[in-house]
Amino acid sequence: MNYTKRRLRRIFGNDDKTVIVAMDHGNYLDKPMTGVSDPAKVIRETLAAGADAVLTTFGTAMRCGDAIGRGGLILTVNDGQPITEKAVESAVRLGADALKVILAPFSGDRQQQANCERLGLDCAAWGLPYLIETIPGTFAAGPDMRTPEKIAAGARIGAECGADFIKTFYTGSPETFKVVLDNATLPVVVLGGERASNDRDVLAQIYDAMQAGASGVAVGRNIWGYAAPAKMTAAIAAIVHGGASVDVALRALT
């Protein structure tokens, strides 16, 4: 039995698309995560509203197992130090459906890439799907690291490290995003980014990304930072899984 494919079915729907609620920000944010003081509540509400999976840390996953229930679980691990097979074994024991790590291509950190390659081998050995979030040049990088070519090249590096799917930036247009999709050779999930002030802008970008060929989205602050996380999740799911227009999706927010 191919356990990797079986676990991926917990993350991706029958349409091979996914809505992931990203809740792993506590691993790196330097301020309180307003909106997730009760992570179990957010997890229950968003999964019930149409999310397929939750991306979170070991700590939250251990405390919120009942809330996650039958939903997909993606665990994030810190890539700051060499990651041992114990991390993968622990994720499997916890019931995770995938493991995620951030990779910053072109940052000059060759050890980080080596860590990602090692983790890819360990995930493959355990039949655990592997998600790499590729952030060219780190989050602090300038516009020269956000071109379609750099995003595409970064995605390919993630694929070559053994990823089963990639999480990265949307490039802004179907034409430029096609460069990423063609080069990645794997399903690409678009990250949500900073909290936006305009709901239409959030949904419009997701709509454009799906039209461009994305396999889904991983949205954090624009879901749990929204006044009604379940409503925003339902709006996003309407686009990703239902093919709804932005105007139709906006109705879910009323």
User: What pLDDT score was predicted for residue 86?
Assistant: 82
User: What pLDDT score was predicted for residue 1?
Assistant: 63
Coil, strand, or helix at residue 23? Answer: coil
Q: What is the mean pLDDT of each run of 10 residues along the chain (254 residues)?
A: 90 98 80 83 98 96 96 86 74 95 93 91 95 96 97 98 98 96 97 93 97 97 96 98 98 94
Cβ neighbours of residue 189 closer than 8 Å, sequence gap 6 or more: 18, 20, 131, 165, 166, 167, 168, 214, 215, 216, 217, 218
φ and ψ at residue 31, rounded to 5 degrees: -150, 160
DSSP 80-141: SSPPPHHHHHHHHHHT-SEEEEEE-TTSS-HHHHHHHHHHHHHHHHHT--EEEEE-TT-TT-
Q: What six digits make up the tokens of 94? A: 């916890």
| Nearest Cα to Cα of residue 192 among 173, 165, 216, 228 | 216
User: What pLDDT score was predicted for residue 79?
Assistant: 63
Coil, strand, or helix at residue 54? Answer: strand
Q: Which residue has the tokens 């089963």?
A: 164
User: What pLDDT score was predicted for residue 29?
Assistant: 66
pTM of structure:
0.95
User: What pLDDT score was predicted for residue 82?
Assistant: 55
| C-beta separation of 39 from 25 below 8 A | no
Q: Are strands 72-76 and 18-22 parallel, antiparallel or unpaired?
A: unpaired
Q: Which domains does the chain have, with CATH numbers?
A: 3-253 (3.20.20.70)
**Residue 219, beta-bridge partner list:** 21
Element (H, E) at 58: helix 58-63
User: What pLDDT score was predicted for residue 141?
Assistant: 96
